Chain A
């Protein structure tokens, strides 16, 4: 292998690594705040990519109707709970209307805009908005009532969500794979390396996203509330941070990150309705390296995983996926040794 080939593989690995990094960070976020090992994370990736494809071909994406349905069910459940708490009917009705305003607006804009051939960036924003709003509803309907149960139960529920979302993906988008147009054509030269602008964009977006998240957690009240929930759920609750709101917000953030990863990834690789599982699991493999707790280790591991995949596909292309997923074993060994040295429960 010569150095220019190594350079190509390196850049390729970085592009994939950037995507996995986003997912790894989202996995750590979701687990630390809600204790959910959200194996359906990857479905938001495919939903993001394929929702954009639908919009670009002038169709109203099925995910929009899913979002509207979930919004209605979610609002109905909230209203029922409020009525049971003896809240006034007028007040409850007002609350319901308010909660439905945003999804209704989004639905109206999408239905209106879909056949009008909006530019790529505008459709991307629309797709991101639709998939992001799926996140909070997913948390509300699937996990909120289970919030007090074991990690195991939450994880099995996440598997149920994965099942349902993959099935819906097939209904919405069909079995055909698609690839979206690039946001930024052409190549740039960085020193000795030829880098496609698209790869550069993926890397820049990842860095931007991590910075934004860092600012959010450091400096915003909502972000601090999430950090508090992650550190001590009970304590956070005592100072007035609602676990339900934290959970919904977290799932919203995670869905946004995943959808963003999806629209970026779909320019380079073909997306099928069921591609999400493997992509999401790679994010998890990286997150496991950080024991599902550490953002920096998870992010670094994701970049490493991108390299393993890239070089692995060159040397043994048929076993590429096998190599990537086997990488979790040495990681677990390392965690296990570290744990034994520290003594006590992980």
Chain B
């Protein structure tokens, strides 16, 4: 069903089955208790897998959300004598409010501000719980009622066990479904910077917030369960130490795997229990020395096996083979107009004292391939970034399809119908080739998190994947469809980027040095693809160093030097121009001419 439950689908099935029948066996109450704590912790760790392993963010304050879940239900059920279910609702409302506020404050800053913000906020919440009379100060609240399910109180270890593990199972399934969907792919694309996902029209801020909110909600639910299982609530549930413990579980287990959350929680719980027995014997005295072992283990794990326990098993994982069934995706209408599709006028960019691009003018018509060339430092890449919205221009206008897009964000420009590739390939190496290409189709779908989890996105998902497969066929990568993208050769990676850009349903394709680093045979394949695209009427702006390629596939060439337009003309004219030759090879002087 999903590759995120792997490695070893069989192992997972066996584990689920074993967990299900366990309370029926005469297993001791000690192990039921251990497993209950493991289940609760694994929910928090699951959130951290989503946040840290998938979205590349992290939080050092997850215990604070556990605390909110626990205290909310504690207050509602003990102080206000109302149902624990109302307590859950209250906890979720408060959690979402706080998590949204923290997310809005930190998520558009660099990645390390979220953990710093959550640490400080978590510590502060700990002291608030510990000093507030209404929730019993540092003693906390006692005598919480058990959760009742259809009138049956879950007041025994075994009955609670069944309910808890059902929740854990559902949460794992939900997250694994989510990851194999349109919003899930967007989440997985967040890890290596926002430039690529934004250029695919993905609202990265929105998805970062989604990841953080989901992790917070999972932690809150865990807090609710913990409170009604222990029947007590106290500030230590939300301490910094507890937060770090949860993060430790996720990292030890394997922070990129759903199974890692479970494995990490189990390992930590059992190790913690054993160490509390062994270490005092070893060191003498009675203290919590297990931190030393956990700390060293964490550092060693990051140094030696940063994919955690599950990473070690990963080589047995079977590759996902997602079915692709044809399903049409609507394309945007193309107006036929006499105007050039892309019109650049007086474009300028100043970096401090350097005028990197100075009054550049050129056009790209519909169905035309235009090459943008020039020696190193001529300002080609800057021009490319100005057009694609990565940099704001200092002056001049870019008109695209009749709209003035100068100063628009990269995402808005992508949505307006400009597809681009990157000079340094940017993809999600652990995602399959098909899924990577489907990122391009993101802006053409609508499915949200809830729809994906509940499976309402099936039809759209089929359409997105079949669109991705069609573009893979266009660039000749069909046979690698289910490979992890990281396994592709450089040439195939560049073709993947072109297929992904095509998947955005672009009116124009901006290619940034697509031939860089390619072998000769790969260049031939690329030229073939470009000619094919032109035959289908695609407009292309090609920034390239490889003269063979440029001369072979373009109709017109724009030459830049020192930020200015040197000339533009047909490949033949450019080749014949002494000015262009001088720009590349230096001025010909008498007696030294080539």
Contact across chains for A163 and B116 when beta carbons are under 8 A apart: no
> Which among B106, B123, B288, B302 is the interface contact of A160 at CB below 8 angstroms?
B302
> Which among B123, B288, B299, B302 is the interface contact of A167 at CB below 8 angstroms?
B288
A261 at the interface (CB under 8 A from B): no
Interface size class, chain B: 35 or more
Contact across chains for A170 and B289 when beta carbons are under 8 A apart: yes
B298 at the interface (CB under 8 A from A): yes
Q: List CB contacts (< 8 Å) of A137-177 with chain B.
A: 142, 145-146, 149-153, 155-157, 159-168, 170-171, 174-175
Tell me the smallest distance from the CB of A138 to a CB of chain B, in Å. 10
Q: Say whether chain B's binding surface is mostly helix, strand, loop, or mixed.
A: helix
Contact across chains for B106 and A163 when beta carbons are under 8 A apart: no
Tell me the smallest distance from the CB of B272 to a CB of chain A, in Å. 12
Given A152-B52, A155-B112, A346-B110, do A167 and B117 touch, yes or no (CB 8 Å)?
A: no
Interface string of B440-479 (1 = CB under 8 A from A): 0000000000000000000000000000000000000000
Tell me the smallest distance from the CB of A281 to a CB of chain B, in Å. 6
Residues of the A chain whose Cβ atoms lie less than 8 Å from the Cβ of B353: none
A285 at the interface (CB under 8 A from B): yes
CB-CB nearest in chain B for A328: B120
Contact across chains for A328 and B117 when beta carbons are under 8 A apart: yes
Tell me the smallest distance from the CB of B84 to a CB of chain A, in Å. 27
Interface string of A71-110 (1 = CB under 8 A from B): 0000000000000000000000000000000000000000
Interface string of A314-333 (1 = CB under 8 A from B): 00001111111110110011
Contact across chains for B244 and A159 when beta carbons are under 8 A apart: yes
Residues of the A chain whose Cβ atoms lie less than 8 Å from the Cβ of B112: 37, 151-152, 155, 292
Count chain B CB atoms within 10 A of each CB in A37, A152, A285, A321 and give the residue with the most.
A152
Given A167-B289, A171-B283, A325-B120, do A153 and B302 touch, yes or no (CB 8 Å)?
A: yes
CB-CB nearest in chain A for B284: A171
Contact across chains for B113 and A152 when beta carbons are under 8 A apart: no
> Which among B56, B127, B392 is the interface contact of A152 at CB below 8 angstroms?
B56
Contact across chains for A345 and B110 when beta carbons are under 8 A apart: yes
Contact across chains for A167 and B290 when beta carbons are under 8 A apart: yes
A328 to B288, CA, bound (A): 30
> Which among A146, A168, A292 is the interface contact of B303 at CB below 8 angstroms?
A146
Tell me the smallest distance from the CB of B349 to a CB of chain A, in Å. 14
Residues of the B chain whose Cβ atoms lie less than 8 Å from the Cβ of A113: none
B121 at the interface (CB under 8 A from A): yes
Residues of the B chain whose Cβ atoms lie less than 8 Å from the Cβ of A161: 295, 299
Contact across chains for B123 and A142 when beta carbons are under 8 A apart: no
Interface string of B282-309 (1 = CB under 8 A from A): 0101011111111111110011001000
Tell me the smallest distance from the CB of B559 to a CB of chain A, in Å. 29
A346 to B58, CA, bound (A): 17
Query: Which of A17-25, A53-61, A252-260, A334-342 is the contact stretch?
Result: A334-342
A284 at the interface (CB under 8 A from B): yes
Residues of the A chain whose Cβ atoms lie less than 8 Å from the Cβ of B306: 149, 153
Tell me the smallest distance from the CB of A237 to a CB of chain B, in Å. 20
Tell me the smallest distance from the CB of A231 to a CB of chain B, in Å. 16
A44 to B247, CA, bound (A): 23
Residues of the A chain whose Cβ atoms lie less than 8 Å from the Cβ of B392: 343
Contact across chains for A281 and B299 when beta carbons are under 8 A apart: no
A163 to B246, CA, bound (A): 13
Interface string of B227-253 (1 = CB under 8 A from A): 000000000000010001001100100
Interface string of A272-284 (1 = CB under 8 A from B): 0000011001001
Contact across chains for B124 and A346 when beta carbons are under 8 A apart: no
Contact across chains for A163 and B292 when beta carbons are under 8 A apart: yes
Residues of the A chain whose Cβ atoms lie less than 8 Å from the Cβ of B294: 160, 163-164
Interface string of B49-77 (1 = CB under 8 A from A): 00010001110100000000000000000
Tell me the smallest distance from the CB of B209 to a CB of chain A, in Å. 13
Contact across chains for A163 and B111 when beta carbons are under 8 A apart: no
Residues of the B chain whose Cβ atoms lie less than 8 Å from the Cβ of A167: 288-293, 295
A165 to B392, CA, bound (A): 47
Enumerate the 8 nearest inter-chain pairs by beta-carbon distance, A residue then B residue, closest first: A163-B295, A164-B295, A160-B298, A167-B292, A167-B291, A325-B124, A318-B131, A328-B120
* Given A161-B295, A332-B109, 18 extra CB contacts under 8 A: A37-B115, A39-B119, A149-B302, A152-B52, A152-B58, A159-B295, A161-B299, A162-B295, A163-B248, A163-B298, A278-B123, A320-B127, A322-B131, A325-B127, A332-B106, A336-B104, A345-B110, A346-B108
B interface residue numbers (CB < 8 A to A): 52, 56-58, 60, 104-106, 108-113, 115-117, 119-121, 123-125, 127-128, 131, 194, 240, 244, 247-248, 251, 283, 285, 287-299, 302-303, 306, 392
